[in-house]
Structure 1
């Protein structure tokens, strides 16, 4: 699968949440937060179908789209690409940058510590 554009990723995120939807349903969700035309949403989803990012059920008058890839695999691929291109392959640099940009809450830091503890336990 090719790397999704920002617009394609927005649509994929909605479909991962909704499981399946018509162009109109996706367009209405997008229109809640940004100014976009219906035909733009339609064209983007048609392109995504051609690229293999979406499947389309054409058995009814209104076509229903579903994500062709799962969220975890797409996130893993995008993250790998980001780490390689923006951080020279260093996961440490990515994490340090991410934590430096935000002010993590105590709960978030506790979750990160627990996750690191899990990783260390796996390695032993």
Structure 2
């Protein structure tokens, strides 16, 4: 799996949420949080199409794009690379850093505890 650039990952996040979208729809979402031109968004999506990260339905005048890479697979791959390069392969160091950067809510902590319990039960 090719590692998406930061800009490609932003586009993928929008496509994962919307399922399919035109360049204009993606551009409008991106423009809510950053300065970007329509032609830049178009070029990024064309490159992503060439790389096979997105498919393009060309039946209508407005082309609709869909992510061809799965969100979970992409996240797993990026996390594995990050854990390896920045945390020496230590999942503990990664989790401790992530939790230290954020103030997780009680609900999030409860979900994390439940997930850890589930992991422990699998090993028993």
Calculate the TM-score normalised by the size of structure 1. Answer: 0.95
Stretches of 4+ aligned residues off by more than 6 angstroms:
none
Q: What is the CA–CA distance in structure 1 between the aligned matches of 2:57 and 2:107, rounded to whole Å?
A: 42
Instruction: Give the CA deviation at 1:82.
Output: 0.5
* 5+ residue gaps, structure 2: none
Residues matched between the structures, number: 124
Spell out the pairing of 1:15-26 with structure 2 (5 A cutoff): 15-26=15-26
Which residue of structure 2 aligns with residue 5 of structure 1?
A: 5
Instruction: Give the CA deviation at 1:45.
Output: 0.1
Q: Would you say 1:73 and 2:73 are equivalent positions?
A: yes
Which residue of structure 2 aligns with residue 45 of structure 1?
A: 45
Calculate the TM-score normalised by the size of structure 2. Answer: 0.95
Instruction: Give the CA deviation at 1:31.
Output: 1.1
Which residue of structure 1 aligns with residue 112 of structure 2?
A: 112
